């Protein structure tokens, strides 16, 4: 995979690069999971190696932990950190109120715990992740393996009374076997098409026996950095009600990071 980055990768990089500038020396930083969050980890690693940035990173998955160590970030557990200054993560969807659907990478449980234990949560995303109403992306819910089919049936029955367009649910697979999270659980993907009341959905789903957590992040995100393929970044602060536009410059070299494609 050599050569120029695609527009979507440039958008992800632009958002990650701008969000990385929010990280200051000495911070305890939650590190998200997924393709956009991977750009963020690499940006922070570059700052650690080249600028002497000193941070402690709390990863939200084993994959992120491995990448963070690879790029030189000091990795600690959430129990060691106790509380975080900032968490930066991607999202599968976000709406105008900065409510999110997360969990496409299968790390929603750790991602939500880490985000909730932070003074600030920043979402980095390309512009295609913004939606008017959540639900086009399947909503993941993490369930314990014991009796998962019974849990699935209960979920489908409950969906009848909720404001959604679709009610199909599927067990996430990894080849011929169920996908297993870092916590040893399964994931059910809910194909809802539209979620009319995300807050109600999150509360109702989490009350069901067998459900560990859902992928709706309500009132958790503080700031979103939206990247575009030309380097533009739009920053929306839900608390200040502000929108700022900036531009990230790309270095036109064969590879943006020399180790990215090794």
Which residues carry out catalysis? 111
Q: Is 105 annotated as a binding residue?
A: yes
> Strands 232-237 and 223-227, how do they pair?
antiparallel
Q: Is 253 annotated as a binding residue?
A: no
Q: Is 102 annotated as a binding residue?
A: yes
Q: Is 87 annotated as a binding residue?
A: no
Q: Is 77 annotated as a binding residue?
A: no
* DSSP label of 134: T
Q: Is 90 annotated as a binding residue?
A: yes
* Dihedrals phi, psi of 219, to nearest 5 degrees: 55, 35
Q: Is 104 annotated as a binding residue?
A: yes
What tokens does 117 get? 């234990």
Q: Is 92 annotated as a binding residue?
A: yes
Q: Is 129 annotated as a binding residue?
A: yes
Half-sphere exposure of 28 (CA within 13 A, CB side): 16
Q: Is 182 annotated as a binding residue?
A: no
What is the distance between the alpha carbons of residues 50 and 211, in angstroms, rounded to a whole number? 44
What is the distance between the alpha carbons of residues 181 and 81, in angstroms, rounded to a whole number? 23
Q: Which parts of the chain fold into alpha helices (H)?
A: 7-20, 35-51, 62-70, 78-81, 108-116, 148-159, 198-206
What is the distance between the alpha carbons of residues 96 and 75, in angstroms, rounded to a whole number? 33
Q: Is 175 annotated as a binding residue?
A: no
What is the distance between the alpha carbons of residues 107 and 36, in angstroms, rounded to a whole number? 14
> Which residues are part of a known binding site?
33-36, 89-92, 102-105, 129
> Which residues are part of a known binding site for substrate?
33-36, 89-92, 102-105, 129
């Amino acid at each position: 995979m050599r050569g120029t980055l695609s527009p979507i990768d440039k958008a992800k990089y632009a958002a990650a690069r701008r969000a990385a500038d929010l990280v200051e020396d000495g911070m305890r930083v939650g590190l998200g999971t997924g393709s956009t969050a991977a750009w963020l980890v690499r940006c922070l690693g570059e700052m650690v190696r080249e600028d002497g940035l000193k941070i402690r990173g709390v990863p939200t998955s084993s994959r992120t932990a491995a990448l963070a160590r690879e790029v030189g970030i000091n990795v600690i557990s959430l129990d060691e950190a106790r509380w975080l200054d900032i968490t930066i993560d991607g999202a599968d969807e976000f709406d105008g109120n900065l409510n999110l659907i997360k969990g496409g990478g299968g790390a929603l449980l750790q991602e939500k715990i880490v985000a909730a234990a932070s003074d600030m949560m920043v979402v980095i995303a390309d512009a295609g992740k913004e939606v008017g109403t959540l639900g086009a992306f399947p909503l993941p819910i993490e369930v314990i393996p014991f009796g998962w089919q019974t849990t699935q049936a209960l979920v489908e029955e409950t969906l009848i009374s909720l404001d959604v367009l679709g009610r199909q649910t599927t067990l996430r697979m990894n080849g011929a076997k169920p996908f297993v999270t870092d916590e040893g659980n399964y994931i059910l993907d809910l194909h809802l098409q539209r979620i009319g009341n995300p807050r109600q959905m999150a509360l109702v789903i989490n009350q069901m026996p067998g459900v560990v957590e859902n992928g709706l992040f309500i009132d958790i995100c503080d700031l979103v950095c939206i990247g575009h393929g030309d380097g533009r970044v739009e920053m929306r602060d839900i608390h200040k009600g502000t929108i700022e536009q900036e531009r990230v410059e790309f270095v036109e070299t064969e590879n943006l990071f020399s180790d990215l494609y090794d």
